[in-house]
Amino acid sequence: MKLGILKTDAVRPEWASNFGEYPDMFTALLGRVDSSLEFVTYDVEEGEYPGDVDEVDAYLITGSKSSVYDDKPWIATLMDFVRTLDARKKKVVGICFGHQIVAHALGGKTAKSSKGWGVGRHTHRFDAIPAWHDGGESDFDILVSHQDQIVENANGATVLASSDFCENAVVQLEDHILTFQGHPEFVSGYSREIMELRREAIGESVYANGVASLSKEAEGDRVARWIVSFLRG
């Protein structure tokens, strides 16, 4: 299977040498689960897209510091591409910004949450167990970094997992689109770097709780297995 990674942001240069760019993070994460996967990166922020939608078997939309409602031409172009992928029933996985832009493009809405920033390790719980799930615990821990949240889901979307902080944490549309608000590709060190950078913006209490939450590992590899199961299902 060939997976097209739609890159929607660049890692800060001072961090990239330690953590890689976002496509590197996903390649490492998903490659640990399925070494047969092939990866192609399209920098959509720079206008890079496949010549043909079927150039790859499936797509993954990364996270971004941008908001999906920002008035940026590349975001409008990406939303059009999401609509094309949906119409063609191509498999799509969205992560954080990718999760939100799918909703925004397909009839939903994303906005800044009145609950403020979500950072560090959060626990999300499945209310419905999908076919690609491993059948284990319904709770899972995932690293998060977001102030925006989906406030209205895409037309026909099913919410699979949520938390008190994030009502729309895992969302699926039919059998071809799956999105996560959290970041399975993040490692604790990268999560901490982002919290340090945004410490003033997120507030001291949220920052302290976020850093403390990193004492326990998130379940990125488990989420990666779900993603691969979904893509191959």
Catalytic residues: 96, 183, 185
Question: First CA to last CA across the chain, in angstroms?
Answer: 12
CA distance 126 to 203: 29
| Residue-wise DSSP of 111-160 | EE-TT--EEEEEEEEESS--TTS-SS-SEEEEEEEESEEEEEPPTTEEEE
Which amino acid makes up residue 135? G
Can you read off the two tokens belonging to residue 97? Answer: 């910004």
Question: In 3D, which of 41, 47, 37, 36 has the Cα closest to residue 22?
Answer: 41
Cβ neighbors of 89 (< 8 A, separation 6 or more) are 174, 176
Scanning the chain, the segments in alpha helix (DSSP H) are 13-19, 22-33, 73-87, 97-105, 188-197, 199-202, 204-213, 220-232
Q: How many CB atoms lie within 10 A of CB 106?
A: 18
C-alpha count within 13 angstroms, C-beta hemisphere, residue 104: 23
